Structure 1
Amino acid sequence: MKNISLYCLAAAAMALSFLFEQAPASDTSASAPVTAEASLFSGLFSDDEEKPTAASDSAAYDYYGQALGVHLERTENTTLLRTVLDWMGTPYRYGSNSKKGTDCSGFVTRVFKEAYGITLQRSSRSMFQSVKRVAKTEMETGDLVFFRRGPGQPIYHVGIYLKDGKFAHSATNGGVMVSSLTQAYYQRNFYAAGRVAVN
């Protein structure tokens, strides 16, 4: 009988402990998950990325990989990935390169300026003239991918290669997004890949 009483008291104590741990501290409980998420990633999105800890670096790659829909090897440039992610959802606007709207080459030039401090040529054709060609099988994160509508046709579109056959670009039918080179349209119109010299 004595043991049963002790078990009951222990169970009650555990139940009370659980309730107190789960109870919201105030009426602002709805914002608690947002605050927790913000604090979890607050160190990942600051401009001061000189020496991230292994834990935050790992969390950053997990976050970027999931958000961009790619499997990262954890050697990719996190500043590039973050910059691409910051531009996701920006609407398409021909001749522009701002968060209010951008075309494909405007998106690429802004990302390279923000991520690497590199000023690229403004048109996709001019960009193609200044890159080092790389084989499709040798593409790395940050390489540029160029498209044309057939042999002898001019280059009309450019994007930034991410991983797993996926690239980020500003499309006329949806703005800045991630697409796959295996999609029939992009597979048919893919022309070449090029690498920008990044210091």
Structure 2
Amino acid sequence: MIKSIILSILAIASLTLSYLYEISPETNAPAPPVADAAAFLLPPPYEPEPIAELIEAPTPNDSLFYEQYAKKLGTRLDYTEDKELLKTVTKWIGTPYQYGSSTRKGTDCSGFVTSIYREVYGIDLSRSSQSMFGDVERIKKDSIQTGDLVFFRRGPKQPIFHVGIYLKGNKFIHSATNGGVMISSLKEPYYRHHYFAAGRVN
């Protein structure tokens, strides 16, 4: 009798333990592989940000350069003009007029232009303003750009007697008989009256 009771108690205990084991959390589940675990700890692969396209713009030094030369030349600039041209012509301002010469001690109009073109562009132009006109491509007045040449004559059947280098805003630099190398305007009555054509050296 006692033996039967003990066996019954053990059977009930065994069933109870078996039931509890089935519904308990899987605390003994196998651990994930090391590689899988590391994936949770490491950051995703680094992908560099795309480099934005660089946009060319005037540097602070460029802006300062053009501002200074705009004041020296008395005209507004677009910040795209040839720096070497601006620097070179500025050095010649005040050079006295001297017929037949082309130096910083004295120069005539064509001598000034030929010297600038040789120094800045490495181009040899004809020595007289009349023959120089044959070295250029004639362009319309409203298409003149910095560095183009402007020619003057006294009448329809008269030869070209004067030449200068166009700057900006109707301003041009030239060697005048009454003042040497200076900056004048195409709007001045004298130059407006005698203006003949503009030309570009290609």
Q: Deviations over 1:95-148 (max 9, x none)?
A: 000011000000000011111111111110111011000100100000000000
Alignment of 1:122 with 2:127, yes or no, is yes
Alignment of 1:145 with 2:150, yes or no, is yes
Deviation at 1:160, TM superposition (A): 0.1
Residue 40 of structure 2 aligns with which residue? none
Residue 5 of structure 2 aligns with which residue? none
Amino acid paired to 2:199: G
The 3-state SS of whatever aligns with 1:191 is strand
**How many matched pairs?**
145
Residue 97 of structure 2 aligns with which residue? 92
Scaled by the length of structure 1, the TM-score of the pair is 0.72
User: 5+ unaligned residues in a row in structure 2: which ranges?
Assistant: 1-57
Alignment of 1:158 with 2:157, yes or no, is no
Amino acid paired to 1:191: F
The 3-state SS of whatever aligns with 2:117 is helix
Residue 112 of structure 1 aligns with which residue? 117
Correspondent of 2:83 among 73, 78, 87: 78
Matched residues in 1 for 2:164 and 2:65: separation?
23
Residue 102 of structure 1 aligns with which residue? 107
Amino acid paired to 1:117: G
The 3-state SS of whatever aligns with 1:163 is coil
The more displaced of 115-124 and 137-146 is 115-124
Residue 170 of structure 1 aligns with which residue? 175
Deviation at 1:55, TM superposition (A): 1.6
Deviation at 1:69, TM superposition (A): 0.5
Following TM superposition, where does structure 1 have runs of at least 4 consecutive aligned residues deviating by more than 3 angstroms?
none
Percent identity of the aligned residues? Answer: 60
Q: CA RMSD in A?
A: 0.8
User: 5+ unaligned residues in a row in structure 1: which ranges?
Assistant: 1-52
Scaled by the length of structure 2, the TM-score of the pair is 0.71
Matched residues in 1 for 2:60 and 2:70: separation?
15
Deviation at 1:56, TM superposition (A): 1.5
The 3-state SS of whatever aligns with 2:167 is strand
Instruction: Name which one, 1 or 2, has greater alpha-carbon Rg.
Output: 2
Matched residues in 2 for 1:91 and 1:150: separation?
27
